Structure 1
Amino acid sequence: MLTEEDYAKVAKEALIQYPIMCEKLVYIGKSDNVTFRVHTNDDNQKFLIKIHISTSSNKSKDNIESELIWLEALAGDTDLTVPAPVRNLKGDLVTDISTDHSNNKFIVTIHHWVNGEVLYREPTSSETANLALLMAALHKHSMQWNAPDGFNRPVYNSDHLFSSLNQLKQLVNLKIIPSEAFVHVEESAHKIANLIQSFERSQSNWGIIHSDLHESNYVFYEDIPRPIDFSNCGYGFYLFDMAETFLHLSFENRKIFIASYSKVNQLQENYYELLEAFFIWSIIRNFAFHSLNPNEQQSLAESFPSVIQDYFIKYLNGENFLLN
Structure 2
Amino acid sequence: MRVGWDDESIAREALKQFPVQGERLVYLGKRDNVTFRVKTKQESLNYLMKLHYAAKGSHSKKTVESELFWLEALAADTDLTVPSLVRSRDNGLTTEVAVHASGETVVVTLHRWVEGELLDREPTPGEARSLAQLMAALHRHAMEWNAPAGFTRPVYDRDNVLSLPGPLKRLPELNVISGEAYACLERTAHRIAAGLQRQPVANHTWGLIHSDLHESNYVVDRGRPRPIDFSACGYGFYLFDVAESFLHLSPENRREFWSAYREERQLRETDAKSLDLFFVWAILRNFAFLANNPAEHTSLSELIPKVAKSYFENYLKDEPVLGIGNS
TM value normalised by structure 1: 0.94
Displacement of 1:172 after TM fit?
2.7
Instruction: Give yes or no for the alignment of 1:191 onto 2:200.
Output: no
Counterparts in 2 of 1:238 and 1:284: CA distance versus 1, 3 Å:
same
Counterparts in 2 of 1:123 and 1:296: CA distance versus 1, 3 Å:
same
Give distance in 2, aligned partners of 1:248 and 1:28.
22
Counterparts in 2 of 1:171 and 1:214: CA distance versus 1, 3 Å:
same
Equivalent residue, structure 1, for 2:119: 119
Counterparts in 2 of 1:86 and 1:315: CA distance versus 1, 3 Å:
same
RMSD over equivalenced CA pairs, Å: 2.2
Equivalent residue, structure 2, for 1:234: 234
Displacement of 1:270 after TM fit?
3.4
Equivalent residue, structure 2, for 1:129: 129
Give a deviation string over 1:63-106, Cα, whole Å, max 9, x none: 11111111111111110011111111111101011269997522
Equivalent residue, structure 2, for 1:159: 159
Identical-residue share of aligned pairs (%) = 51
Supply the AA of the counterpart residue of 2:217.
N
Give a deviation string over 1:159-207, Cα, whole Å, max 9, x none: 1111112221221343421122222222222221112112221110100
**8 Å Cα contact 1:252/1:323 also seen in 2:** no
Give distance in 2, aligned partners of 1:59 and 1:36.
24
Give distance in 1, aligned partners of 2:22 and 2:303.
46
Identify unmatched segments of 5+ residues in structure 2: none
Counterparts in 2 of 1:39 and 1:188: CA distance versus 1, 3 Å:
same
Equivalent residue, structure 2, for 1:267: 267
Displacement of 1:19 after TM fit?
1.2
Displacement of 1:4 after TM fit?
10
**8 Å Cα contact 2:211/2:234 also seen in 1:** yes
TM value normalised by structure 2: 0.93
Supply the AA of the counterpart residue of 1:307.
V
Instruction: Give yes or no for the alignment of 1:225 onto 2:196.
Output: no
Counterparts in 2 of 1:61 and 1:309: CA distance versus 1, 3 Å:
same
Displacement of 1:112 after TM fit?
0.9
**8 Å Cα contact 1:162/1:189 also seen in 2:** yes
Give a deviation string over 1:120-176, Cα, whole Å, max 9, x none: 111011110111101111111111111111111100001111111222122134342
Equivalent residue, structure 1, for 2:48: 48
**8 Å Cα contact 1:33/1:54 also seen in 2:** yes
Displacement of 1:54 after TM fit?
2.1
Three-state SS of the structure 2 residue aligned to 1:262 is helix
Supply the AA of the counterpart residue of 1:196.
L
Give distance in 1, aligned partners of 2:84 and 2:209.
16
**8 Å Cα contact 2:168/2:182 also seen in 1:** no
5 Å-filtered alignment, 1:98-117, equals 98=98, 104-117=104-117
Displacement of 1:224 after TM fit?
0.5
Give a deviation string over 1:278-324, Cα, whole Å, max 9, x none: 11111110000000011111210111211111001111222212148
Counterparts in 2 of 1:310 and 1:7: CA distance versus 1, 3 Å:
same
Counterparts in 2 of 1:192 and 1:5: CA distance versus 1, 3 Å:
same
Three-state SS of the structure 2 residue aligned to 1:43 is coil
Give distance in 1, aligned partners of 2:145 and 2:285.
27
Give distance in 1, aligned partners of 2:124 and 2:58.
34
Q: Report the number of matched residues.
A: 324
Give distance in 2, aligned partners of 1:319 and 1:4.
58
Instruction: Give yes or no for the alignment of 1:278 onto 2:278.
Output: yes
Q: 156-165 or 32-41, which moves further after superposition?
A: 32-41
Give distance in 2, aligned partners of 1:4 and 1:222.
43
Give distance in 2, aligned partners of 1:248 and 1:57.
34
Q: 137-146 or 5-14, which moves further after superposition?
A: 5-14
Give distance in 1, aligned partners of 2:196 and 2:306.
26
